[in-house]
Amino acid sequence: MKSLKRWLLAAFSMMMAALILSGCMPGGMPEKMGPYKCYYGDVDYASVLRWNDITYMDNNDGDISGLKTGDRIGKINYRKADHQCPRNPMQNGDATVLEVGTPLYAVKGYKTSARLMAGERLYEATDNPSAQTMNDLLDIEGKIKTVRFTSGMDGSPLKDFTPEANAVFIREYPKLKYIPFDQLSKETKQWVGDKYWLEIEMTDGSSRRITYNTMFEAFHPSCYATPELARLVEEQRKLIYVK
């Protein structure tokens, strides 16, 4: 069973957008020094990298054994964990914890704007200023197999969507308008409200964790649900408790 800390890092990747873009959660008191921040004490870094102006985060929960590595596209040039006063914001080729020189590869079947392999780890896009839809961000149209509710405590599966609901979600979710999380965060009062935890399983066996905010009927990675999808999520959630 995955630890709670590991699960929360993945589930809250975009909720912590400001920290992810700077790449860290300081354990000591930061001191501003121009465009830089110096950290004194422990720093708990989420594993993030930036490439072609897109921010990616390590998918540390999914099964990636079915994925195939494509062409090499670059390497990591700068590691924030090596610096007490790391540069901020992150630049292309920067990573938080990946070693300098770590090669970056495409993932066969996916656009590099959605997924990269760094070493042997899968990194998925969490912020893309060029994206217009969720499919632009995630490149998942035609690749979703199953959607299910999972536990907010440890990520364990609770219940799959029914086949009918699954078909609707698979068709409609990739079409939703992508909204940068800093914008959605402002519109949702810093993402307040009750949340459901879901997992999108792909046909290749990999998966993507997403969150649904019941107060604002919004998903994260960041987009608003259509009325149809909002009703569908609520209806499917009730089935968890039906014996």
Q: What is the pLDDT of residue 36?
A: 59
Phi-psi region of 138 (alpha: psi -120 to 50; beta: other; left: phi over 0): alpha
Confidence at 37, pLDDT banded by 50, 70, 90: confident
In terms of Cβ atoms closer than 10 Å to its own Cβ (0-12, 13-18, 19+), residue 240 is exposed
Task: Provide the domain count of the chain.
Answer: 2
CB 136 within 8 A of CB 112: no
The rounded distance, in Å, linking the Cα atoms of 239 and 230 is: 15
Q: What is the pTM of this model?
A: 0.84
Residues 101 and 28 occupy one common structural domain: yes
pLDDT in tens, 221-232: 989 999 999 999
Tokens 């292309």 — which residue? 92
Q: Is the pLDDT of residue 11 over 70?
A: no
Lowest pLDDT segment from 40-44, 46-50, 151-155, 174-178: 40-44
Q: What is the pLDDT of residue 214?
A: 95
Over residues 169-176, the mean pLDDT reads 97
Residues 116 and 73 occupy one common structural domain: yes
Of 129, 157, 180, the residue at which a domain comes to its end is: 129
Residues 162 and 194 occupy one common structural domain: yes
Residues 179 and 237 occupy one common structural domain: yes
Of 129, 161, 176, the residue at which a domain comes to its end is: 129
The rounded distance, in Å, linking the Cα atoms of 203 and 186 is: 34
Residues 117 and 144 occupy one common structural domain: no
Of 97, 129, 161, the residue at which a domain comes to its end is: 129
Over residues 59-86, the mean pLDDT reads 92
Coil vs helix vs strand at 17: helix
Confidence at 181, pLDDT banded by 50, 70, 90: confident
Q: 118: domain range?
A: 1-129
Residues 55 and 121 occupy one common structural domain: yes
95 or 16: whose pLDDT is higher? 95
Residues 33 and 81 occupy one common structural domain: yes
Work out the mean pLDDT of the chain and round it to a whole number. Answer: 86
In terms of Cβ atoms closer than 10 Å to its own Cβ (0-12, 13-18, 19+), residue 144 is buried
Confidence at 5, pLDDT banded by 50, 70, 90: very low
The rounded distance, in Å, linking the Cα atoms of 87 and 39 is: 12
